[in-house]
Structure 1
């Protein structure tokens, strides 16, 4: 990747910082494989750290979880799905270019669904006229992360990175609008009930 000056450095840095902040919410680790296949150091570093953090989250959850059998079964199922995906992409798609395209498409679909998932709470927010179920800090983090990755994808002319992160910008603005329409002051009764 060619260095394009200060703007490129700023975009790369934003991708790393904002994405590492977002890993507390959990992100698709398929981007690590995509970055490795593409030889993209930014994707590799960010998703390696993310994989380590998510592994720590799972181990901590397993340690403190009272019903370990259910969680272990879910974790084993997830690992099985990951191994099937790995087998498909690395064994059944021998052409590296085809693998890159298919893996990019897979990661994009997963990322888009992740960014659209908060819209499931939209009906609840409108029905209750309360944004209590939405996280304002997560909305800011989503906007910053998705915007920086959109810019990064644009600079690389990588449609998988660019297009998959655009819904994060759109859904963030929808959530900001909901915070504006139903300000937290309307949720005072909820806060009073909890104290």
Structure 2
């Protein structure tokens, strides 16, 4: 029980730390008064992911999931609002946000009204959240391929890689302790992709020792 409590706090601290990396982009947008060099979709997809897991945590009555994803969703909404304020392509951003909102509404209606409460509802929601999380962890693989081709790790963030590794590991162990495979399985790819990134840093960072900082890449 003590180990589970330790894992709970580890999940909270590491995950909030990972979500807070978006503050770097927020600071950049405020400094330049522009969102030209910041990606929008990671904010939107992460927000959807947070809201899905928040609902799952509420149904499962898991305080750790509820707290982490409530804070995560609030941060992503902050980043989205800031991006909408500074971007020059508001029409495109508004369209993407409306589509995401529509998807969220349809999902909520399906899971809350068309499924009877109980194990079936929880299982289908857990599976949906798991698939979405796995797709988010695997989406940067194309960037990793380009890094291997170019031999440059400038597009990678080492602090974010460490945060992703610690977050994925803590959630995997947390899910294992609870015997909840919907939590454990989707976080395993986060560990694998983080280890790949560590290898790339070891392999290519020495080529660019004069580079003192790394650019942020969203997961």
Same fold (TM over 0.5): yes
CA displacement 1:93-136 (0-9 Å, x = unmatched)? 12421110011001111111111122211221111111122211
CA distance in 2: counterparts of 1:189 and 1:144, whole angstroms: 27
Instruction: Please state how far the C-alpha of 1:81 moved relative to its aligned partner.
Output: 0.8
CA RMSD of aligned residues (A): 1.7
SS of corresponding position for 2:170: helix
Instruction: Please state how far the C-alpha of 1:188 moved relative to its aligned partner.
Output: 5.5
SS of corresponding position for 2:116: coil
TM-score, normalising length: structure 1: 0.89
Unaligned runs of 5+ residues in structure 1 are none
Of 145, 148, 155 in structure 2, the residue corresponding to residue 123 of structure 1 is 145
Partner of 1:19: 15
Unaligned runs of 5+ residues in structure 2 are 23-42, 213-219
Partner of 2:4: 8
CA distance in 1: counterparts of 2:123 and 2:145, whole angstroms: 35
CA distance in 1: counterparts of 2:6 and 2:176, whole angstroms: 14
Q: Structure 1 residues 157 and 72 mapped into 2: Cα distance closer, same or farther (>3 Å)?
A: same
CA distance in 2: counterparts of 1:170 and 1:123, whole angstroms: 15
CA distance in 1: counterparts of 2:165 and 2:145, whole angstroms: 21
SS of corresponding position for 1:131: coil
SS of corresponding position for 1:132: coil
Partner of 1:73: 95
Instruction: Please state how far the C-alpha of 1:82 moved relative to its aligned partner.
Output: 0.6
CA distance in 1: counterparts of 2:101 and 2:107, whole angstroms: 10
CA displacement 1:118-155 (0-9 Å, x = unmatched)? 22112211111111222111110110000000111011
Partner of 1:107: 129
> Within 5 Å, which residues of 2 pair with 1:5-154?
5=2, 7-24=3-20, 26=43, 27=46, 28-29=49-50, 30-154=52-176
Instruction: Please state how far the C-alpha of 1:189 moved relative to its aligned partner.
Output: 7.8
Q: Structure 1 residues 8 and 189 mapped into 2: Cα distance closer, same or farther (>3 Å)?
A: closer
CA distance in 2: counterparts of 1:41 and 1:182, whole angstroms: 41
Partner of 1:187: 208
The structure having more radius of gyration, on CA atoms, is 1
CA displacement 1:55-87 (0-9 Å, x = unmatched)? 111111112222222211211111011101111
CA displacement 1:24-78 (0-9 Å, x = unmatched)? 4553121001101111011011111111111111111112222222211211111
Higher helix fraction (1 or 2):
1
